[in-house]
Structure 1
């Protein structure tokens, strides 16, 4: 049966733009410059991690002593701040070094930089307590490199290698296991924090600083400085058994099948879930569970998808749409390859940078250089005008909506952006003893709001990942990206949804605090002296709009 697709928005043709032309041909710089630099950086980081890991057992006490000295240095730096003469505290890390899509203009104005660039160590791996002690600069690639050989991993492993522990706790940290464990911050047992006056405290879910423990989450570093986090560990196996389910139908039908996958009524929830929507009538939904090496070699085909010459993951998945709905493709994937399956292609963003990147010749001869590092890519948007122009034309949004609104969110995304693929991921939003900036809907666990996977202590949300260039821009049409993003934000407010704050936000301050709950955030900022020392989160994340003047002919 042929399903009619949802109509695409159409706009008048846009005039020629030199900046547009330069962005379309960024690969001229990316291939000879960005890729080699990214590869060299990755190799340095990998070998440094292996060297550090080889010394873990005999050097743990020494590492803790060195960590204590780093903490004391930061505390002294914070205490040295002159409230009358110095600006607000921010990290000294360069703006381009962040994975965030925001411009971070606040770092270029009055500020008081604090250098925590050397907080990049795995301090201890405690297999008895099943926890790992991490400094905030440890990234996901480094973490999996150190833990997987031990048969260990954290429950939630956000996909991209360069995402750091600190950014994930105070920002956004979702992955394929979030329907079971929540966000990355939900797996934290304790945090060592440096407050606005330079004092250091340890916050947990149930000690005297429990308000601070929950208040730091989603705060984007505007409450305190994170010095160390203790994260839960779990035992894992060498492989993941992945099942792929092609779906053919409209967006409502895709959403219905998505709900059934995430919280099935006839079997246990899968360890991992994910959906890729390729257009308004086609999607592939996926589930995964850990599997032993014996099972993988005895019963199934093994797909080492992390090798440089393999097809990009989303392209490989798209090819499975040749199968009819109801068919299931099953394979076994090495655990590290699965956890970082989108890294080589940066999901599908590399297709915009390298239109030929998935071609077999490129993969075989240059695929080993992938992926380009986001920090180096930012340097190719030379000048503020090009960066602003890029943000106007490139959408990077993760939004959370209650599971029952998934279809409506997909339809709104299509009507506003017509960007595909779209990433689907489920998130179990927990109610906490203190509340956070996010909260479940009132009455979510009873009719008529109760949905699949909802319980008294948690509500199931869908993360809808919208990343790419809107189709009207691809077709060369006039298009207002800021207006479209504002419309998406209004949809979220009306449907009890949330916007990930690593992205560009167009909201007014009133709308921002309508979307998010300010109660605990304001309380902890006032109680622990953050006001006037750390920037308010709204002014840190919202976009300061300036007119862009683009010459055309």
Structure 2
């Protein structure tokens, strides 16, 4: 589905963005002036004022007739979903955390349980306006004069520009989502079930609209298959004392069933940042009763992590025990389905982190994307693991993961720390194509190079 809509005149927010770009001296790198982020890699502090995106945070249009939305680049998915659900619609892929922005998910890649049928967020973009390094806003579509930027924008992480406006596809939803949590006692059977669901879009005679999984150990793993429904019944609430990922676990031979409102399904992982809220004690029943509900969300936990990184509290506590700083291992990787069980066995043997999140994905069509070259027609599984391991040689665990993922023909997302050599990085992330894009759309190097951002903390 491709269309080109008339390009609107600049909004006041876009003009402020351009003015703020012009105000940054040509000798300084350009970056966003954001208070929050969903990135987990260190960044060099800058004295420059940054780009003013304050007028680019809204939903401009939701068109139920064409099932499209026109959205500002800095609009969060929380605000986007709040605008689409009342019209019986949702974005084709809604990343798991509320404060991820639409522009961020497109330039940085996002994924969720609809990705096995809808791909990644950038695949539902029909067109977008992008601020380039030349200090101008251009409209990029799959087949106009900026089609190269349209193909190269995903996974560029702001190194080629920032999206100011996006036109995206939407899909219909019903009131509820019905879930089934299916237990597996070996990883090979789990991966075989993923392949069957992706291929048939059903399980045990019921349609499947969403699928993801959780691995707690080698012999305890779950696949959650879910479908849209208008059926009634009592819905669960995992924003209070109950914790979603714990509701998945069971010893029954039959799947455990659950029912959520569509809104609560989309944000089921955000309340406890998957399971990472346990690091702050928020899953302790006594502390949880005292923890303000408005702070049970990923954005609040992220601020605590940022505070720890700034004050080095965790490192100081380890030092008191006579230990080196723990190594942070916060990563998402894509591994071909046929190698996923092999990777999981290696990971469970090598990296002391659990649980592990699984999310299958396939590209929607035959179009490929220059900077994240997944193969059309291939099923991948996103494997997510977010914790830390005992310290030793700096980056040892992360480097080992990078090597193993590469050996299995996989890719790693770049939102967190990376340790690749420049040669390896270019081979994995479209080096030649990126060089052409960089020279074309950021000829004076106003934005940091992708390698510098991903590996050198620029």
- Same-fold status (TM-score > 0.5): yes
Where 1:125 maps in the other structure, the secondary structure is: strand
Q: C-alpha displacement at 1:531, in angstroms?
A: 4.8
Q: What is the TM-score of this pair, normalised by structure 2?
A: 0.88
Where 1:263 maps in the other structure, the secondary structure is: helix
Q: C-alpha displacement at 1:364, in angstroms?
A: 4.6
Q: C-alpha displacement at 1:481, in angstroms?
A: 6.2
2:41 to 94, 102, 111: 102
1:413 to 347, 367, 388: 347
2:233 maps to 1:304: no
Alignment of 1:80-99 (within 5 A): 80-83=23-26, 86-94=27-35, 97-99=36-38
Where 2:363 maps in the other structure, the secondary structure is: strand
Query: Residues 404-442 of structure 1, C-alpha deviation per residue, up to 9 Å, x if partnerless?
Result: 11012112221221211100001113565564212245x
2:450 to 511, 534, 537: 537
Change (3 A) 1:489 1:173: same
2:404 to 491, 514, 525: 491
Match in the other structure for 2:214 = 276
Q: What is the alpha-carbon distance in structure 2 between the residues aligned to residue 371 and residue 155 of structure 1?
A: 22
Q: What is the alpha-carbon distance in structure 2 between the residues aligned to residue 342 and residue 218 of structure 1?
A: 23
Change (3 A) 1:160 1:489: same
Match in the other structure for 1:68 = 11
2:399 maps to 1:468: no
Superposition CA RMSD, Å: 2.6
1:119 to 31, 56, 62: 56
Runs of 4+ deviating beyond 6 Å: 265-269, 387-391
Q: C-alpha displacement at 1:254, in angstroms?
A: 3.0
Q: Which runs of 5+ in 2 are unaligned?
A: 1-7, 319-324
Query: Residues 184-221 of structure 1, C-alpha deviation per residue, up to 9 Å, x if partnerless?
Result: 11111110112222222211112221111111111001
Aligned residues: 440
Change (3 A) 1:381 1:265: closer
Alignment of 1:35-184 (within 5 A): 68-83=11-26, 86-94=27-35, 97-105=36-44, 108-109=45-46, 111=48, 113-184=50-121
Alignment of 1:161-240 (within 5 A): 161-240=98-177
Q: C-alpha displacement at 1:82, in angstroms?
A: 4.3
2:259 to 315, 332, 336: 332
The answer to whether the Cα contact below 8 Å between 2:185 and 2:218 also exists between their aligned partners in 1 is: no
Identify which range, 422-431 or 498-507, moves more after superposition. Answer: 422-431
Q: C-alpha displacement at 1:116, in angstroms?
A: 1.2
Alignment of 1:432-451 (within 5 A): 433=367, 435-441=369-375
The answer to whether the Cα contact below 8 Å between 1:397 and 1:467 also exists between their aligned partners in 2 is: yes
Q: What is the alpha-carbon distance in structure 2 between the residues aligned to residue 374 and residue 207 of structure 1?
A: 42
The answer to whether the Cα contact below 8 Å between 1:134 and 1:229 also exists between their aligned partners in 2 is: yes
Identify which range, 521-530 or 178-187, moves more after superposition. Answer: 521-530
Alignment of 1:326-405 (within 5 A): 327-354=254-281, 357-359=283-285, 361-366=286-291, 368-369=293-294, 370-371=296-297, 373-381=300-308, 383=310, 385=312, 392-405=326-339
The answer to whether the Cα contact below 8 Å between 1:435 and 1:520 also exists between their aligned partners in 2 is: no
Change (3 A) 1:117 1:285: same
Q: What is the alpha-carbon distance in structure 1 between the residues aligned to residue 173 and residue 352 of structure 2?
A: 38
Match in the other structure for 2:3 = none
Q: C-alpha displacement at 1:87, in angstroms?
A: 1.1
Q: C-alpha displacement at 1:173, in angstroms?
A: 0.6
Match in the other structure for 1:25 = none
Q: What is the alpha-carbon distance in structure 2 between the residues aligned to residue 280 and residue 219 of structure 1?
A: 35
Match in the other structure for 1:314 = 245
Q: C-alpha displacement at 1:516, in angstroms?
A: 1.8
Change (3 A) 1:430 1:520: farther
The answer to whether the Cα contact below 8 Å between 1:305 and 1:337 also exists between their aligned partners in 2 is: yes
Where 1:523 maps in the other structure, the secondary structure is: helix
Identify which range, 218-227 or 112-121, moves more after superposition. Answer: 112-121
Query: Residues 128-148 of structure 1, C-alpha deviation per residue, up to 9 Å, x if partnerless?
Result: 221111112211222222221
Q: What is the alpha-carbon distance in structure 1 between the residues aligned to residue 34 and residue 68 of structure 2?
A: 28
Change (3 A) 1:433 1:469: closer
**Bigger helix share:** 1
Q: Which runs of 5+ in 1 are unaligned?
A: 1-63, 442-456, 546-553
Q: What is the TM-score of this pair, normalised by structure 1?
A: 0.74
Q: What is the alpha-carbon distance in structure 1 between the residues aligned to residue 19 and residue 366 of structure 2?
A: 34
Match in the other structure for 2:432 = 519
